[in-house]
């Protein structure tokens, strides 16, 4: 049976005790998440926006200028998120590459549509 000292009153307590039986102080220390763990959120955003842009190209209804402008903004945002994710070597690199490819295709299509 290993013994440790209370963080508050310094009395000897069992190492698995959640609180000190003498003073009632909590013995657990909140631990922060490690800062070096990245999440693949940029890559996921890039892929989702790229998919949305490609799916809008399938729509055969007529587009006005504001719709074309809005979808162009989505494709450029997808491209930016993907490039940033790839350059920062974040997790989800394959997702970012797929998002960049889809957004480049969509951006070229939107540019072609705007020239009409």
DSSP code per residue over 43-72? HHHHHHHHHHHHHHHH--S---HHHHHHHH
Whether this model's pTM surpasses 0.85: no
pLDDT in tens, the chain (116 residues): 677 888 888 888 888 888 888 888 888 765 555 555 578 899 999 999 999 999 998 888 888 888 888 899 999 999 999 999 999 887 889 999 999 999 999 999 888 877 76
Contacts of residue 19, defined as CB under 8 A and 6 or more positions apart, other chains included, come to: 25, 26, 27
Separation of alpha carbons 70 and 83, rounded Å: 20
Separation of alpha carbons 71 and 65, rounded Å: 10
Q: Is residue 87 part of a domain?
A: yes
Q: Is residue 4 part of a domain?
A: no
- Structural domain of 81: 41-115
Per-residue model confidence (pLDDT) at position 37: 59
Q: Is residue 28 part of a domain?
A: no
Per-residue model confidence (pLDDT) at position 6: 86
């Amino acid at each position: 049976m290993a013994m440790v000292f209370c963080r508050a009153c310094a009395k000897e307590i069992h190492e698995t005790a959640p609180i000190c039986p003498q003073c009632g102080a909590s013995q657990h220390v909140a631990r922060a998440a490690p800062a070096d763990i990245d999440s693949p959120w940029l890559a996921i955003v890039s892929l989702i926006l790229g998919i949305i842009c490609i799916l809008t190209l399938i729509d055969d209804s007529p587009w006005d200028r504001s719709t074309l402008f809005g979808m162009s903004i989505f494709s450029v945002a997808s491209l930016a998120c993907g490039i940033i994710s790839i350059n920062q070597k974040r997790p989800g690199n394959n997702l970012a590459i797929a998002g960049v490819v889809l957004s480049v295709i969509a951006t070229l299509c939107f540019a072609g549509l705007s020239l009409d």
